[in-house]
Structure formats: structure tokens, C-alpha cells
Amino acid sequence: MTVSTPAASVPTSASQPSAPSSASATASSAPAAASSGSASNTAGSAAPTASSTTPGNTGDKLVVAHHMIGNVYPYTQGDWADDIALASASGIDGFALNMGTDDWQPERVADAYQAAQEAGNNFKLFLSLDMTVWPCNSADSASKLRALVNKFADHPNQLKLNDRVFVSTFSGETCNFGQGSVADGWKSQFYQHPELAGKIHFVPSFFVDPAQFLQFADIMDGDFNWNSAWPIEVTTQSAQSILSGAKVVSNLASSVAGNATVDGTSFTSLLGGLSNALGPLLGSLDTDEKHLQSLNSLSGNKRDGSKRTYMASASPWFFTHYGKDSFNKNFLYLSDQHLYSNRWENLIASRDNFDIVQLLTWNDYGESHYLGPIKGAQPKSNAWVDGFNHTAWLDMTQYYATAFKTGSFPAIEKDKLIMWARPHAAKAQAADPVGPPTNFELTEDAVWAVAMTGAPATVTLNGQSFDVPAGLTRLAVPLAAGEGMEGAIVRDGVDTVQLKPEFTFEANPKTYNFNAFVAGATQA
């Protein structure tokens, strides 16, 4: 499969379907949705031109990444400096620091602020208060949160919008801080408390129907839509209904139901049908539009009449595998068919509506959606994370982040090839007491790839060839047990990029692992 995005020379202006496992491929050009399953190539359109729309009416659009402080216990200031340098080079403007209740976490956060200041690149930081772990049923619990906000409020690397300290949350929709309602609790004990009144720009992620935003009109300066990163509504059950309604070929529907092996001659039609049926849900803006509609309806209630901030999310993957004796969560969200690329392109195409994109995440290893290097202290996720580096996705991140912020896709100066796949077949059987993750039937036995080319070229993936234009091109080929992944970019008979990581697709793994093995290579 292929899909291509435009070269920079073109004028400019956040459970699922199942499983091909054999021979043929697809290609298409970026900002179009990736088609899966035929060697078609679509001309990409350019990103829209930069507009006057800015976050909170104060400056440029931003791209930030969610950083889990709970996973950085062994960090030094040097570790923070390395993360900040890598993130900045990847088009990321700052970190949302997810803070819990461990007594050591404020020290690590202080190190992050100091490292950001010494980096000298205006890298921004802000607190994302994890309200799934913070007590929030008394006024005293709110005082601790206020103290944290004030501790870093005047730091030169603190993100501010409208001259107010930017503060976010993960959850918090049940917190009343000892008051009569959730809205009253956040208002009297946090947002309008004398210690913070007039000082903060509050953009929480409350997991509520956006129709309920009206009750929070006095405290929400904006909205962070965490779950917009993934098509969480697509489950094994819902996918069968979607495919049936779309009249996708019958053997595809049975493949979803039973995760049957798909022979090579069927791969193209199955992958194409799957993309056509489910593609609109991959990276869709539907949930964003609902949140924006409700958020914009609050503008008349805003104390200063300014536009409220909308922070969308984007993520490359989601898989978690904790048993009942641990965190008891074992499921995945549909991340195949170039979810990350599709999501970015939809955000860029409608960039006037979005102030900030938050990437999920930099280092949440437990849910397999980390973009940064594997370091720090994992949350008992080593079994599915060790050996599965994701940093090759940062090349894609830099490309899309630049287009989102500037309105123009950047020039591709060196060819790049990024490939990823799960380590074993979707229908594999393992002697794993945790069992396969919920929605595993939806995954596809395929190598997914992105080629970033400065000029037209030929891309080979596991022996199949695709002619691609300049720009970013999405590709996919089937993957069978015992196979590896190998790719190259060829121009004028010369390999500009070669990629052959140590990887073998397994039929019978010891444990279930639906994380992504990601590899990348760049032209010398």
C-alpha cells in the first residue's frame, strides 16, 4: 500500500479490523488517507498556509509531548537535557509533565525546568496534574496542587498563554475538593482561589461528554481531548458491524471474526476494503469537532471574551498487557493503517481549528505509545517494551509538526525510510496467563512503512517495489511467520537508503506482544 505527501516544492496555501497476512501492497500520497492494498499512488496536496489563528491569541501553534514523571525516578538533569534536545530536534516545543503523588516527583520536575533553561532553546514545560492518583475530595488536597503550580509559575521556561501559567490535567471530572459540585470545587479551591486567581490558563482533560462543558464555563480556558488520538470506538464487535454495513468482501468480515489467514492473492483486495471501510475512523476529527463545538459555545461566558484553547492529541500506537495481579488492563486500540500519519494529516488540513497538538506520549511505556528512547524506570512493562525502540517515528513527527506550525511541509533534504510491525502473528498462540489483548482480532499481519524522499524514487519492501513521488509516502506489505523486514530507497540505480533490522515475525511467541517494532534509516 502507498500514500504520499507532497514535496516541499509544491506551493502551499488522541476496537479494529483484522488481518491480512500475505502478498501485495499499497501506496498513497499524504495528506490523503492511506489506502491499504493496491499499488496506487495519489498526488498529495500541500498543507494550508499559515494563518493568524494562534493558541489563546498569543503566538504560534505548538506541539508538545506528554512526559510521565512517574517513569523518571532515576533521571538526572543530564537525562532531561538529552530528552529536551531530542524532542526539540524533532519539532516538539515542550513537555506536558504528568505529575503524580510520589514525594520525589517535584525534584525531577525541578530538574526538568533547570535543564530546559540551560538548553537555551526556549523549550517550554507545564504541569499536567494526574487526577487519577491525586486525592481531590477535600480543600486540603487542592492546596497541594496550588502549591505545585506556584512553585514553577515564574520559571522562564514555564509555558504561558495570555500571560497566564498554562496548567492541564489528566482526568479530574469527579473532583469536588470538598465542595458541593465538581465545578464549584475546581472554581473555589483551584481556579479562582486567591492563590491562583487570574494567574492560570486552565486546559484540563475531563473525561465527560462535551455537552457538559457548560457547567465548567467559569473554569475552562480550554479543553484537552486526550482520547482524540485513537479510534477508541472501533472494537472487534463494532468493526464487524462496520464492515458488514460497508459490504466489504465476505472473507474480510470472516477474517475479523476469526482472524483467519489471508492468502497472498487476497491481500490487496482485503487491505483495500478494510481501509475504505475503516479508514475514515483512523485519525478522524469527529470527536474533535464535537469538543470544539461545545468549547466554542462557551466563548460568550469567558471572563475576557478571548478564544478558548483547544488541544488535540495524536499518538502512534496503543497496547497494554497487565494481568489481574497488576494494573489489570489488557487491550489495544486500532493503530494499524498508518494511524499516526493519518491523524497528523487531518490535523494539518484543519489546522485553523487547533491551537496545540499534544503527542501521546514521550515515555508511557506501559501503553506502548512512547516516542522517546526507552530509559528511566518502566512501570513493569519490560516484557513488551525492551528491545522495541520507537524513536524512528520522531522523523515523521518533525515533518508533520513543522507543517502544523508553519502551514508548509518542510523540504526533505535526505531520504528516510521507517518500517514497523508487531513481533508475532495476530492469530499466534502463547502460553501467556494474561491472555491476548482485547481487540487483538483487529490487527493486521503487515509491515507498515513511510518513505520520505527528496525526489521521485523506487522503494522496495520485502522484495516488492513501489515507484514513489517526492514527499512522504505510506506503504504496507504483508508479513508471514518466519519473515523479517527489509527495505531500500533506490534512485538512478543507487540505493540511497538501506534498512534491514534484526527482526523475525514469530508464529508461536512465549508471551503476547502487540507492541510495534520500529526501525529507521536515513540517507548518508
The per-residue pLDDT for range 15-64, each reduced to its tens digit, is: 322 222 222 345 555 433 333 332 323 223 334 333 333 343 334 899 99
- Residues 386, 364 share a domain: yes
Using DSSP, state whether 465 is helix, strand or coil: strand
- Residues 241, 93 share a domain: no
Which of these three, 408, 443, 467, is where a domain ends?
408
- Residues 456, 399 share a domain: no
- Residues 143, 68 share a domain: yes
- Name the band, by pLDDT with cuts 50, 70 and 90, for residue 272: low
Count of domains observed in the chain: 2
> Please, which residues bridge with residue 521 across strands?
417
The pLDDT tens digits of the residues spanning 375-400 come to 999 999 999 999 999 999 999 999 99
| Residue 282: predicted pLDDT | 86
- Residues 142, 19 share a domain: no
Whether 274 contacts 17, CB under 8 Å? yes
Q: For residue 470, what are the domain limits?
A: 1-13+15-46+234-280+411-524
* SS3 track for 54-65: CHHHCCCCEEEE
Closest CA to 400 of 337, 310, 472: 472
- Residues 381, 257 share a domain: no
Q: Is 60 exposed, middle or buried (0-12, 13-18, 19+ CB in 10 A)?
A: exposed
| Residue 277: predicted pLDDT | 74
Cell of 17: 479490523
* Residue 251 half-sphere exposure toward CB, CA atoms < 13 A: 13
- Residues 173, 263 share a domain: no
Which of these three, 356, 385, 408, is where a domain ends?
408
**Among the listed ranges 251-265, 267-281, 353-367, which one has the minimum average pLDDT value?**
251-265
Which of these three, 378, 408, 438, is where a domain ends?
408
Distance between CA atoms of residues 449 and 487, nearest Å: 9
- Residues 304, 213 share a domain: yes
Mean residue pLDDT of the chain comes to 86
pTM, whole model, 2 decimals? 0.89
Position 485 pLDDT exceeds 90: yes
203 or 44, which is more confident = 203
